[in-house]
Structure 1
Amino acid sequence: MTKAPFVAMSAATAALGTALGSLALQLRSAGYEQYVESVTTFSVLMYITSALVLVTWARDGRPHAN
């Protein structure tokens, strides 16, 4: 496969993770502690998803055995 779908997907999920991390910091400073853990967990999940997309891209680039 081409590089573009994997790079775009990885960049989008990493950007979402960054946005959610920023939201978690804003929620903490505004006093909404009950939501911080959930948003932070989802942010970390987006970073993990981004890394797994890159691993998928790297594995897809290898030759396939029959």
Structure 2
Amino acid sequence: MKQVPFGALCAALVALGTAFGFLAIQLRTAGYEPYVQDIAFASIMMHFTAIMTAVTWARARRTH
């Protein structure tokens, strides 16, 4: 079975979450307050998903 690319997935999720975080900051400074909460939530969820991917990666390495 081919190894799952956990590292690339985790890095991509962190990059996407960081980009959403910067977008939320820019939207706040530009005065688009109604959208800030949704974009900030998406950023937090991307970082959380990256953490869960790293945990899955660690568990997969431990069992093999």
Common fold, TM-score beyond 0.5?
yes
| RMSD over equivalenced CA pairs, Å | 1.5
> C-alpha distance in 2, partners of 1:35/1:63?
42
Query: Is residue 7 from structure 1 mapped to residue 4 from structure 2 by the alignment?
Result: no
Structure 1, unpaired ranges of 5+: none
Q: Which has the larger radius of gyration?
A: 1
Correspondence for 1:54: 54
Give the distance between the partners of 1:63 and 1:42, measured in 2 at CA: 31
Identity among equivalent pairs (%):
51
1:24: which partner in 2?
24
- How many residue pairs get aligned? The number is 63
In the alignment, structure 2 segments of 5+ residues that lack a partner are none
SS at match of 1:41: helix
Runs of 4+ in 1 over 6 A off after TM superposition: none
C-alpha displacement of 1:63: 2.6
